[in-house]
A and B are shown apart, each in its own frame.
Chain A
Amino acid sequence: MTFPAIDWIAVLPLLLVACLGVVCLGVGLFVDDDEVLGWGALVGLGVTFITTAVLIGQHGSAFNGTLVLDGYALFFDLLILAVGCVVVLMSMSYVEETGIGAGEYYALLLFALSGMIVMASATDLILIFLGLEVMSISVYILAGAWRTQMRSNEAAMKYFLLGAFATGFLLYGIALIYGATGATRIDVIADKLGGVIDRHLLLAGVAMLLVAFGFKVAAVPFHMWTPDVYEGAPTSVTALMAVAVKSAGFAAFTRVFLRGFGGLHADWSMLLWVLAVATMTVGNVLALAQHNIKRMLAYSSIAHAGYILVALTAGGPTGGAAALFYLLAYAGMNLGAFGVVLALGRRGEPHEEIDDYAGLGFRSPLLGAAMAIFMLSLTGIPPLAGFAGKIYVFTAAVREGYYALAVIGVINSVISAGYYVRVLVVMFMTPGAVDVVRASRRPYLFTSIVFSAVVTVLIGVFPAPWLELARLSFLSQP
């Protein structure tokens, strides 16, 4: 029996993370010290990150070309791994305080990351499906990881039910496309689009995929789960969902639609246009009405998905690069925001109401300044990462002639200022008394917040290299 030739380089990041997860799970059975496990996961992820970074510039493919290592995959691998590192940092004290089983927590986190890496690297719909499921199933459990909390259970339940429901659509979509083109490989599909095929079948499949991906990235109207799940899940998991899961979702979404269905752009751009507008608007308008900061951030993440959809609607290399860059910028600021949410909580008192932030800005200047940076960046104020991201997204839209979309986008930015700035109002302009656990007692968490803040400023002030990275990564798809 002969194995098909495997380019080990192509699967190296995946392999490392997956193995790390297994090790974690195993060690977790015997080691009780949460911090050791956390450090293990962190170091492992760090090593993987470095190893992956070394691979930059390499190309490889495995499993009959269904899994590739191109710049695009590397971009997302690195992004996901970095996010993973930060989330682990954030989880260290949180896991301990909430009593979540550290072994399975980190293991599931790593499995989820490995699923994401598959999604980023896969060039076959089936592999994307597998990656997505590996990721999703892990995250379902993570969402319910705080087993004693009813809210956590409910979040897991809702996420699971709707996720499984969406899986049905994803599969149906794959099936229809398979039926129409006879292939599941993205490049093959792209090649066959011009040929004689059943367009109805194909387009129905495209629509189904749109539904499924829309669910994963929380696009309206497939977003309903997001606020509930984000609110109910443990905060560190919410951060993971808001950043990493969304990035992975967009990784697959972008590759499939811009690379695979690029030839059908005229057919799906209108739909995506509507989705983008709806997503931005609903996300922002509903975020205005929230009192719980996690729920507010959930709607905010919906809105940001909308901005990225604008980039996808624009399509082409510009749109693709803009989407990639936006995800990068979004990762830093959003992780940071969740970090601050974590920092405000303490054992038994989550302090998740926005009003709990009253007076925080001057009582805890570091947290205040960091949160201000994140909120302003999310609003899109220069010279922060969020602004750079929006600029490139709207540039893409304008270049491709989607002026109305750009205008609606900026109007949405204005609306978003309403709720982001409200956090600043509460933090800096109203008196309050919620005490914050000292930074020295949560060194990892604060490290992650400062790191996110630095990245947010850095990307904003010097966007050029990151932008170039995003552009080249997008173009490197085979």
Chain B
Amino acid sequence: MVPTSWYLALSAVLFAIGAVGVLVRRNIIVVFMAIELMLNAVNLTFVAFARQLGTIDGQVIVFFVMTVAAAEAAVGLAIIIAAFRNRPTVNADELAVLRW
């Protein structure tokens, strides 16, 4: 059987990849996808722990997270669209009117 720690390590790596993705990708939509990756990495952790602890809680939490992530995705895309209407770009660099 695969030890829990492997799952944890995997999720940590996924989380890290997601975080790095947030930092390095220029396209806002891709950035957002990287965040989704982070959330799903956490989901993996929850499931792994739930399995290890033998409780169902962790599994249930994952559903909550998925729901929330869906809501966030909807709102996020809406915001991106609204911004796109005013200024047709999806480049994170160009969203820098507010500064200093």
Binding site for B on A (CB under 8 A): 126, 129-130, 133, 137, 140-141, 144, 147-151, 153-158, 160-161, 164-165, 167-168, 171-172, 174-176, 178-179, 182-184, 227-229, 231-232
User: B93 to nearest A CB, angstroms?
Assistant: 12
Contact in complex: A164, B98 (CB < 8 Å)? no
Contact in complex: A175, B42 (CB < 8 Å)? yes
Contact in complex: A154, B97 (CB < 8 Å)? yes
B65 at the interface (CB under 8 A from A): yes
Within 8 A of A (CB), among B16-71: 18-19, 22, 28, 31-32, 35, 38-39, 41-42, 45-46, 48-49, 52-53, 55, 57-58, 61, 64-65, 68, 71
Whose C-beta in chain B lies nearest to the C-beta of A140?
B75
Whose C-beta in chain A lies nearest to the C-beta of B45?
A175
Q: What residues of B have a CB within 8 angstroms of the CB of A165 in the complex?
A: 19, 22, 35, 38
New contact pairs (18) apart from A147-B85, A160-B76, A231-B98, CB-CB < 8 Å: A130-B64, A137-B72, A147-B86, A150-B86, A157-B28, A157-B83, A157-B95, A161-B22, A161-B35, A164-B72, A165-B38, A167-B72, A171-B65, A179-B8, A179-B45, A183-B57, A184-B61, A227-B98
Whose C-beta in chain A lies nearest to the C-beta of B4?
A179
26 contacts between A and B (CB under 8 A): A137-B75, A147-B82, A148-B86, A154-B95, A154-B96, A154-B98, A155-B98, A156-B83, A158-B98, A160-B76, A161-B22, A161-B76, A164-B32, A165-B38, A167-B72, A168-B35, A168-B41, A172-B15, A172-B42, A175-B42, A176-B45, A178-B58, A179-B45, A182-B55, A183-B57, A228-B98
User: B11 to nearest A CB, angstroms?
Assistant: 8
User: A60 to nearest B CB, angstroms?
Assistant: 23
Whose C-beta in chain A lies nearest to the C-beta of B83?
A153
In the bound complex, how far is the Cα of B85 from the Cα of A130, in angstroms? 31
How many A-B pairs have beta carbons closer than 8 Å: the answer is 124
Contact in complex: B75, A141 (CB < 8 Å)? yes
Whose C-beta in chain A lies nearest to the C-beta of B74?
A137
User: A275 to nearest B CB, angstroms?
Assistant: 20
Q: What residues of B have a CB within 8 angstroms of the CB of A164 in the complex?
A: 32, 35, 72, 76
Binding site for A on B (CB under 8 A): 8, 15, 18-19, 22, 28, 31-32, 35, 38-39, 41-42, 45-46, 48-49, 52-53, 55, 57-58, 61, 64-65, 68, 71-72, 75-76, 78-80, 82-83, 85-87, 92, 95-99
In the bound complex, how far is the Cα of B87 from the Cα of A148, in angstroms? 10
Given A126-B64, A141-B75, A178-B58 in contact, is the A154-B39 Cβ separation under 8 Å?
no
Q: What residues of A have a CB within 8 angstroms of the CB of B15 in the complex?
A: 168, 172
Contact in complex: B57, A178 (CB < 8 Å)? yes
Q: What residues of A have a CB within 8 angstroms of the CB of B57 in the complex?
A: 178, 183-184
Whose C-beta in chain B lies nearest to the C-beta of A138?
B75
Q: What residues of A have a CB within 8 angstroms of the CB of B61 in the complex?
A: 126, 174-175, 178, 184
Whose C-beta in chain A lies nearest to the C-beta of B87?
A150
Q: What residues of A have a CB within 8 angstroms of the CB of B65 in the complex?
A: 171
Contact in complex: B79, A160 (CB < 8 Å)? yes
In the bound complex, how far is the Cα of B100 from the Cα of A231, in angstroms? 11
B-side interface mostly: helix
User: A155 to nearest B CB, angstroms?
Assistant: 6
The residue that B52 contacts in the complex, of A129, A148, A179, A232, with Cβ under 8 A, is: A179
User: A57 to nearest B CB, angstroms?
Assistant: 32
Which among A126, A137, A154, A231 has the greatest number of chain B C-beta atoms within 10 A? A154
Q: What residues of B have a CB within 8 angstroms of the CB of A147 in the complex?
A: 82, 85-86
> Top 5 A-B pairs ranked by shortest CB distance?
A168-B38, A153-B83, A228-B98, A179-B49, A175-B45
Q: What residues of B have a CB within 8 angstroms of the CB of A167 in the complex?
A: 35, 39, 68, 72
In the bound complex, how far is the Cα of B22 from the Cα of A158, in angstroms? 12
Q: What residues of B have a CB within 8 angstroms of the CB of A151 in the complex?
A: 97-98
Q: What residues of B have a CB within 8 angstroms of the CB of A150 in the complex?
A: 83, 86-87, 97
Contact in complex: B58, A130 (CB < 8 Å)? no
Given A137-B75, A172-B15, A178-B57 in contact, is the A158-B95 Cβ separation under 8 Å?
yes
User: B18 to nearest A CB, angstroms?
Assistant: 7
Contact in complex: B75, A160 (CB < 8 Å)? yes
User: B98 to nearest A CB, angstroms?
Assistant: 4
Q: What residues of A have a CB within 8 angstroms of the CB of B75 in the complex?
A: 137, 140-141, 160
Contact in complex: A161, B32 (CB < 8 Å)? yes
In the bound complex, how far is the Cα of B98 from the Cα of A228, in angstroms? 5
Q: What residues of B have a CB within 8 angstroms of the CB of A154 in the complex?
A: 83, 95-98
In the bound complex, how far is the Cα of B55 from the Cα of A149, in angstroms? 49
In the bound complex, how far is the Cα of B68 from the Cα of A174, in angstroms? 15
Q: What residues of A have a CB within 8 angstroms of the CB of B64 in the complex?
A: 126, 129-130
In the bound complex, how far is the Cα of B28 from the Cα of A155, in angstroms? 14
Contact in complex: B32, A168 (CB < 8 Å)? no
In the bound complex, how far is the Cα of B71 from the Cα of A133, in angstroms? 9
Contact in complex: A137, B71 (CB < 8 Å)? yes
The residue that A157 contacts in the complex, of B41, B55, B80, B85, with Cβ under 8 A, is: B80
In the bound complex, how far is the Cα of B99 from the Cα of A227, in angstroms? 8
User: B91 to nearest A CB, angstroms?
Assistant: 12
In the bound complex, how far is the Cα of B95 from the Cα of A182, in angstroms? 42
Whose C-beta in chain A lies nearest to the C-beta of B49?
A179
Whose C-beta in chain A lies nearest to the C-beta of B54?
A182
